[in-house]
Structure 1
Amino acid sequence: MIDQWLKKDLRDIYEQHTVAVLIDESGDAEFFLRIFEGEYTIHRVKSEIEELHVKYLIEKTQPSPERFLIYTRSKKDELKFIREYCETCGCLEIRYLQNYIKDKVHQTLNLNINLPREELIAAAKVSVGKDRTYWMDLSHKGATEIFDLNKELLPFVHDPDKYSKEKYDAQLRETFFRKVNELIGQDYLNKPASTLAEEVVKAMLDGLAKGSCNKTLETVYNSWLDSVSYGDSFNEYLDHYTVCSDIDSWNVSIHHPFRQVDERWLAEIGATLSDKSSFPKTLAKLRQRNQSKQAQTLGICFWGDVIPLLEFDPKDIAYLSSFGECVEFYKKHFCKLDTAIRNLYAQFLNKKTLLEPFQELYKEYVTIFLDKWFKYWSDYKETQTGTLQRIIDDAGGLKTAVIVGDGVAYEIAERVASKVKGSVTLKKDSILADIPSETENNMSRIYMANGITEAVQSNREKYLVEQNPDLSFDFIRLDEVHEEARPGQILICTYKDIDDMGEKLQQKALKYFPEIIDFFADKISLLLAGGYARVYLITDHGFVLTGLLSDADKIGVSPKGDFDKAERYIRTETRQADLTPGLIEAEKNYRQFKYIYFARNMNPFKTPGLYGFSHGGVSPQELVTPYFCWERSGASLVLLSVLIQNKGDLRDVTGELFSIKIKADKGTEDLFSMDRRVYLVFFANKAQVNKSDVFAIQQNEQLTKEYTFDGHSELEVLLLDAATKQQLDRAIIKQNKDRDLGGLL
């Protein structure tokens, strides 16, 4: 604010004259000159020769509207050639800057400021650009208000040398450094800015580690983590900081940045899992940590997976009284544990001592649940056969997309659902996969309702098309989905990455699952925004993870006769009476085999292959698969019906030009059926070749649009709603080249 006072004093001179003299005997006011650069022509004078030179420069421009400011540290009585300007024009004389500041504060704000000279001058420099509240705060709160350390410390520690040199002059920099030292409880010593910055960050991290961080430093810490510009430097400081081994880890700030402390907590909790009486107190602390924005920013997110394992109460499993209840319990409650352990495997598979107690807890819960699951196993009945046909039959003319995943476990689908954006309605259901839960068998059940197992994907698709001759289909990979809807009424998207990566990389693939979940959610949102009224997510089977596996965990069995042993099932030619007490038996013909056997747990059969990610068994993780349907809000809203009227004519067009007649019905009195904005999209050989502009059509109106074949003999045109991209109608346009010859042949 001192800049405003000084400008006012000079304006009083410049109202009558073009030259003003600023006498600064102490030299403390020289910083004012930066304020006036570009506004006035500034001349500094130190000697009689310089006075004479400045006088010459000013006089030779006269008369001129240009304003000149002469700055000198000489006393008024000692001036020679510019003394005349002091008497005839005007002079602002500041003998002691601290007195000038006190007088101005008292005159304008009626406040008394009692600060040492250095601090008062520093306060004046900092006040440039600020309003009266700055001086009022300074008057009431003292020197602590000179620098807003809450804001200035962050850019300082981010780049201490650059910030301190560009922001402050030498005098102000020293005052700033004194205040910073005072904040962290140190005596001032002249030291490099980078050294002081390191001491500030150490004081901050020490305070967080002890659970008693200075409020200003904690504010800076929080701002640092939120900052896009400064965030990288925090990690550099953190990498060089060592947490003392003797700290009370449970007394550390709940928002601390030390992953090693979280892992210390994890180890202590794992060591006391048998004492469940301590869970409530521990959970309260962990919930706080899990909700910490700072921890989330730093990527310390695994408490969200530990908490479900600690909260789960297996006593509820005892009340399950049917296979159907087991399925529902799995979907509502138990699959959350699968998500939790999958995430913990991804985080700690290489840290056995941390992971092992929680894996054992999970396996304990699995054992209890599977006892119920297999108690009612006789009521199991697959519901997978003909899944796609049921979806097609239920489409009711709505443009529908189906994502057929490979290995998308139910818990994965739940995570996908939580990330889908947009105004949509989600209906969650499930399908019980056929056994064995492996791709060839289950994909055949999804595509084909005739019970045949088909190994070739193109043959499955061909079967589906043959069963629905009146419908148009598009078969693509999920990564080929883009914003524009494809011409077919039914879109089938396949995605095999989960199963492919799982079988190739085993549990190393887990680190990619979060990206895959986001990919699914993005594509579902894109499909809904691209004109599909409904989007389904289904899959062939789920999967199980073995985690930390010992030889004792592997099931060693030796079937008699010819057999085929996989990690999760065994096929045999003859019935194995010796295996049935411990294994699940099913009669199922496949090639030369007639029987199939499954384990009653999630452990693998001993095989020569890799272990980690597997499927084919009969656990709920493998058999309970998602049947999720997202429906775009408003998809069933009754809007003005618009159709292509001349479909018959378009199938036999003579010449290069053709006309499309678009007709709107008479509608109703409803506001939503008064008019509709639509557009046309043209395809040739399933590839988009043209698109019209958006146009509006009113009730009972007919519009004619003309186009050319543009080198194509056959086109498919879609009539789409401009807002929702919903397909309203479609037509085939064929060019009759024989008729175009005028009967000459």
Structure 2
Amino acid sequence: MIDLWLKEDLEKIFSKNVVAVFIDEHTDAEFILDILNKTFNVHQANSEIEELHVKYLIEKEQPSATKHVIYTNLAKGDLKYIREYCEVNGCLDIRHLENYIKAKVHKALNLNINLPKDELITAAKVSIGKDLTYWMDLCHKGSSEIFDLKIELLPFIHDPVLFNKKYDDQLLTTFYQKVNELLGQEYIVKPPQTLADEIVAKMFDGLSCNDCDPVLESVYVQWLNSKEHDGSFDKYLTNYLSKNSNASILNSNQDIWNINVNHPFKLIDEQWLKAIGKDINNKAVLPNYLAKISQRDQSKQAQSLNTTFWADIKVLLEFDDKNIGYLSNREQCIEFYTKHFHKLDTAIRNLYTEFLNNPEILAPYQDYYKHLVDVFFDKWFKYIEGYQENQTGILQRIIDENSQKTAIIVGDGVAYELACEVSKKVSDNFKFTNEIIMADLPSLTVNNMSRIYMANGMVDKVQSKREKYLTKQNPSTEIDYVRLDEVNSEARSGQYLICTYKDIDDMGDKLNNKALKYFPESVDYFAQQIAVLLNSGYQKVFLITDHGFVLTGMLTDADKITPTLNGQSYVAERYIRTVDKQHSATSYVEIEKQYEEFNYHYFSRTMNPFKTPSVYGFAHGGAAPQELITPYFCWERTAETGGSLNAKFTNKADLKNVSGELYLLKIQADKSEDNIFEMERKVYLVKFFGKEQIGKSDVFTLKQGETINKEYTFDGNNEIEIQLLDALTKEQLDKAIVKKNNDRDLGGLF
């Protein structure tokens, strides 16, 4: 603040002259010169020779618009060569800086500040860059507010060496004294890093016993939210933990729940998890834990430290399985899964990702989850008879039912719960429809992908042949096929775009449980690419998949099912194929379905896998709801996300038979008296030869009822597709085919 006061006083002189003399006899204000020099041209003249030199430099530049400040610690009566500037231009004469400060504070706030000279000058140095509230606090609270430790401690902890360069020795001594008072210890000169380590140790000690000083807790909260000071926290925490074992953080007599809920210690979280795990089947005790779990789950500090698994623990413990008993048919089971049970699958997947290498923590939660699965599966498989898939020909149905420009993402192994996580990441600006598709049995990629693409019910192992079949069924419709990672913001020629994404199933099959850590990246990627598609001209984007998956987690040999079979058979983790009917397999789901030489398929009624040589963890092929209930999600641009003024090409017939090298496009905007708000729309044209984009126009504006003509050349192409797109949303408003008539160019000779 003092910097502003001094500048204001100097500017009064500069309002009439370009030279001002600043007299500071006791040199108390010398600290401000570096700041003044950023605004003015500052010269020091503390002797006759310096006075003469400064006067020469200034007058040499005359006339000049540069504002010159001459700083001197000589009394006004002792000045010689620059005395004239004082008399003619005026000067800022501060004989006692403490009195200058008091006068300024009183004038600004009508308050008296009573601090000793040294503390006032120290406060002035700290006030640089601050506003009047700083001085108001000093007037009311005294010298304790010279340094606001809630603000100053964090930059000091983050980089003590850099902080030391910020202040002079006097200020640093004052700051160190205040810090030691906070720590409750005598001030002793020590290296800055040592003091910083002591501050952080005091902070962490307080958090571990729920007795943290409010100032230090405030600094802790700032630290975790600060991007500027990001990076130093982990270093300090690692150093603290290396000096303090788990036993010292939690002493033997300490209640493990009497700890600050915002603490940074994963070791304490693990202690809490173990304690809850021991009581997980005690319905009377669990409510006592839920209050603490909810607090930890909502802690922004825990979230900043990526301690997010408490939300999943909360989902598990709060799930009420009583309603499962009321399910009386398959439709109700499906609805219950999509509304409620799938959240358990997400929770256990997240817990597997976090704790699969820590079975002591994970085991009780996995057992609890599998108990809930068994309860639900009893109902699910009770009504499995007569199961019907509706997956066959789904791509054809989407094409038939959607005339606007549409993209379909065909995922591989995108379980319903995973798709729900994707939906949370996509912007709410788009209309979202959440429906389901029931997958075919067995829930395998070759079988189910064939169902998606081929409405005839045939199975084809080759993806390109499935695409060829779909294209053949739609001879007058242009369909583009790409991998999802090939999607970008450029418009494509086809009315429909089918994007394949196989990473989830590929990773699951190859890496099993190790793939789990990559699934969140896939969720983010889906959401990102859905947004890209919606912002690149597609009115709708669908997300479908071939099948879901189950996670078997930690298994013992007793968990694996060893079937007794007759005749030729094939045993996979989630299904069995046999040539002959198995009369002893009454505990399995049986489907009579031919595949190669096999005639029957059998599926377990549990989450447990059949015993095979494979590596367990991630699996599909079975009849569990996690494998069969798949997403049929749709995001759609609404009127709010695009313009509503329609436009079209009015000379499409002429464009199909153009003679010469030039062709003319006539574009007309609708004239509607009903919509007074959509008076214009910004658009542009994109040209395609085949599926390749060969050019696009600049953006131009169509006004309501207006017709615009645009003329272009063929540039060596005989047939071009022109699309009219909205400049903001890239929505396709219309398209036209332009064909060159070469016969007419030659006068009909050929």
Alignment TM-score, normalising by the size of structure 2:
0.89
Judged with a 3 Å threshold, the aligned counterparts in structure 2 of structure 1 residues 469 and 87 are, in CA distance, closer, same or farther, namely closer
2:597 to 578, 586, 592: 592
User: SS where residue 710 of structure 1 aligns?
Assistant: coil
Alpha-carbon separation, structure 2, partners of 1:646 and 1:20:
79
- Residue 445 of structure 1: CA displacement? 1.3
Give the drift of 1:406: 0.8
8 Å CA contact 1:640–1:672 kept in 2: the answer is no
What does residue 149 of structure 1 align with? 149
SS in 2 for 1:294: helix
Q: Whole-Å Cα distance in 2 between the matches of residues 231 and 450 of structure 1?
A: 58
Q: Is 1:236 matched up with 2:235?
A: yes
User: More displaced, 477-486 or 80-89?
Assistant: 80-89
Indicate the residue corresponding to 2:380 in structure 1.
Answer: 373
Q: Does 1:431 align with 2:433?
A: no
The answer to whether 1:480 aligns with 2:449 is no
Shift in Å, 1:624: 0.5
- Alignment check: 8 A CA contact 1:20 1:86 kept: no
Equivalent pair of 1:720/1:728 in contact (CA under 8 Å): yes
| 2:523 equivalent to 1:527 | no
Task: Give a deviation string over 1:17-69, Cα, whole Å, max 9, x none.
Answer: 97665432xx6554355565475755465xxxxx4534654676798986643
Q: Cα RMSD (Å) of the superposition?
A: 3.3
Q: Is the 8 A contact 1:640 1:664 kept in 2?
A: yes
Residue 133 of structure 1: CA displacement? 4.2
Q: Which residue of 2 aligns with 1:385?
A: 392
- Tell me the distance in 1 between the aligned counterparts of 2:83 and 2:476: 103
Whether contact under 8 Å (1:668, 1:674) holds in the other structure is no
Q: CA deviation at 1:114?
A: 4.3
Relative to structure 1, the CA distance from residue 108 to residue 497 in structure 2 (aligned partners, 3 Å threshold; closer, same or farther) is: closer
What is the CA-CA distance between 1:110 and the residue it aligns to?
A: 6.3
- The answer to whether residue 402 in structure 2 is matched with residue 421 in structure 1 is no
CA 737–275 in structure 1, closer or farther in 2 if over 3 Å, else same: same
Residue 403 of structure 1 aligns to a residue whose secondary structure is strand
SS in 2 for 1:643: strand
Q: Are the equivalent residues in 2 in contact too, given 1:13–1:20 (CA < 8 A)?
A: no
8 Å contact from structure 1 (residues 160, 197) kept in 2: yes
- Alignment match, 1:161: 161
Aligned counterpart, 1:48 = none
User: In the comparison of the two structures, how many residue pairs are matched?
Assistant: 732
Comparing 307-316 with 276-285, greater Cα deviation is found at 276-285
| Partner in structure 1 of residue 714 of structure 2 | 709
Deviation at 1:634, TM superposition (A): 2.0
C-alpha separation in 2, matches of 1:381 and 1:9: 86
Percent identity, aligned pairs only, is 55
Residue 196 (structure 1) aligns with: 195
Does the C-alpha gap of structure 1 residues 472 and 175 become closer, same or farther in structure 2, counting only changes over 3 Å? same
In structure 1, the residue matched to 2:350 is: 343
Q: Which residue of 2 aligns with 1:23?
A: 25
SS across alignment from 2:25: strand
> How far apart in 2 are the matches of 1:738 and 1:59?
90
Whether 1:53 and 2:55 are equivalent positions in the alignment is: no
CA distance in 2: counterparts of 1:672 and 1:11, whole angstroms: 51
User: Partner residue of 1:625?
Assistant: 630
The offset of 1:8, in angstroms, is: 8.4
Farther off after superposition, 256-265 or 54-63: 54-63
Q: Could you tell which deviates more after superposition, 193-202 or 244-253?
A: 244-253
Q: What residue in structure 1 maps to residue 523 of structure 2?
A: 517
Cα distance between partner residues in 2 of 1:58 and 1:348? 73
**Correspondence 1:331-730 to 2 at 5 A:** 331-395=338-402, 397-579=403-585, 581-634=586-639, 639=644, 641-664=646-669, 667=672, 669-671=674-676, 676-697=681-702, 702-730=707-735
* 1:40–1:69 contact (8 Å) kept in structure 2: no
CA distance in 2: counterparts of 1:80 and 1:470, whole angstroms: 96
Q: 1:608 Cα deviation (Å)? A: 1.3
Measured in 2, the distance between the counterparts of 1:613 and 1:578 equals: 28
Post-superposition offset of 1:371: 0.5
Report how far residue 128 of structure 1 moved: 4.2
Identify the residue that residue 71 of structure 1 maps to in structure 2: 73
Q: CA separation in 1, counterparts of 2:566 and 2:86? A: 121
The Cα of 1:270 is off from its aligned counterpart by: 0.9
Post-superposition shift, 1:85? 9.6
Encode CA deviations 1:361-392: one digit per residue, 9 max, x unaligned.
Answer: 00000001001111111142111112112212
CA distance in 2, matches of 1:362, 1:560: 34
Partner deviation per Cα, 1:509-534 (whole Å, 9 max, x = no partner):
11111111111111112222222222
1:19 and 1:663 map into 2 onto residues whose CA distance is 72
Secondary structure at the aligned position of 2:123 is classed as helix
CA shift, 1:577, in A, is 0.9
CA contact (8 A) 1:384 1:434 kept: yes
Give the Cα–Cα distance (whole angstroms) in 2 for the partners of residues 213 and 239 of structure 1: 19
Contact 2:660 2:745 in 1 (8 A): yes
Greater shift after overlay, 283-292 or 690-699? 690-699
SS in 1 for 2:284: helix
Amino acid of the structure 2 residue aligned with 1:606: K
- Which deviates the most, 410-419 or 103-112? 103-112
Q: Is the 8 Å Cα contact of residues 42 and 68 (structure 1) preserved in structure 2? A: yes
Once residues 699 and 744 of structure 1 are traced to their aligned partners in structure 2, the CA distance between those partners, rounded to angstroms, is 45
* 1:216-241 Cα deviation digits (max 9, x unpaired): 21221111111111111111111111
Paired with 1:249 and 1:630, the residues of 2 have a C-alpha distance of: 47
Aligned-partner SS, 2:443: coil
Q: How far does the alpha carbon of each residue in 1:337-366 deviate from its partner, in whole angstroms, 9 at most, with x for none?
A: 000001111111111111111100000000
Select between 349-358 and 647-656 the one with higher mean Cα deviation: 647-656
User: Using the alignment, how far apart are the partners of 2:669 and 2:85 within structure 1?
Assistant: 87
Within 5 Å, which residues of 2 pair with 1:292-307?
Answer: 292-307=299-314
Say which SS state the counterpart of residue 380 (structure 1) adopts: coil
Task: Say whether the 8 Å CA contact 2:20–2:85 is kept in structure 1.
Answer: no
- Structure 1 pair 604/174, CA: closer, same or farther in 2 (3 Å)? same
- The Cα of 1:175 is off from its aligned counterpart by 0.7
Provide the C-alpha distance between the structure 1 equivalents of 2:300 and 2:24, rounded to a whole number of angstroms. 53
SS in 1 for 2:291: helix
CA deviations over 1:241-280 (Å, ceiling 9, x no partner): 1251315331221112212211111111112112221211
Equivalent position SS for 1:240: helix
Q: Distance in 2 between matches of 1:80 and 1:676?
A: 72
Q: For residue 178 of structure 2, what is the amino acid of its counterpart?
A: K
Q: Per-residue displacement from partner, 1:484-541 (whole Å, max 9, x unpaired)?
A: 3322222211111111111111111111111111111111122222222221111110
Cα distance in 2 between the residues matched to 1:292 and 1:179: 30
Equivalent-residue separation in structure 1 for 2:477 and 2:484 (angstroms): 21
Q: Within 5 Å, which residues of 2 pair with 1:255-334?
A: 255-334=262-341
Give, in whole Å, the separation in 1 of the partners of 2:737 and 2:648: 14
Q: Secondary structure at the match of 1:241?
A: helix
Residues 279-302 of structure 1 show CA distances to partners (whole Å, capped at 9, x for unaligned) of: 112111111111111111111111
Q: Residues 380, 108 of structure 1: CA spacing in aligned structure 2 closer, same or farther, 3 A cutoff?
A: closer
Deviations 1:584-626 (A, max 9, x none): 1110011111101111111111111221111000000000011
Taking structure 1 as reference, are residues 3 and 608 closer, same or farther at Cα in structure 2, changes over 3 Å only? closer
Q: Which amino acid is the alignment partner of residue 267 of structure 2?
A: Q
Instruction: Tell me if the contact between 1:638 and 1:672 (Cα under 8 Å) persists in the aligned partners.
Output: no
Which amino acid in 2 is paired with 1:686? K
- Rounded Cα–Cα distance in structure 2 between residues aligned with 1:109 and 1:377: 79
Amino acid at match of 1:553: D
Contact 1:207 1:213 in 2 (8 A): yes
Contact 1:641 1:667 in 2 (8 A): no
Gaps of 5+ in 2: 63-67
> For structure 1, which segment, 666-675 or 190-199, has the greater mean C-alpha deviation from structure 2 after superposition?
666-675
Give the TM-score taking structure 1 as reference length: 0.90
